[in-house]
Amino acid sequence: MLMAALALAGCGGVDDRRSAIAVAKCGLPLAKRLNTDDPGQVGTSDVRVKELGRGRYRVTGLVSVAGKSEVPYVCEVVPDPSDKLRGFRVTLLQVDPPRG
């Protein structure tokens, strides 16, 4: 997750930084949804960020825990001034169940 955020952040621009922060904000909720206490075990790929307007973002991609099979996810965030670290609140988190 962090690598995706850093890749987005490296592009410059204010929107790119906000996009990277949106990706990072989704990290811990994804780990919790996948029942792991170690967010470092969560890997993502094919991460895409779409600006929805009014400071809202939709983050999509594939997620896995400890290298197991990847499943699609959707995470949406909105601005939240009470979040002093990232300034976002997660309003939607969908993770498809693993197939098998």
- DSSP code per residue over 23-77: HHHHHHHHHHHTT-S-GGGEEEEEEEEEEEETTEEEEEEEEEETT---EEEEEEE
- The model's pLDDT over 13-59, given as tens digits with 9 standing for 90+, comes to 458 999 999 999 999 999 999 988 787 899 999 999 999 999 999 99
- The model's pLDDT over 72-87, given as tens digits with 9 standing for 90+, comes to 999 999 999 999 999 9
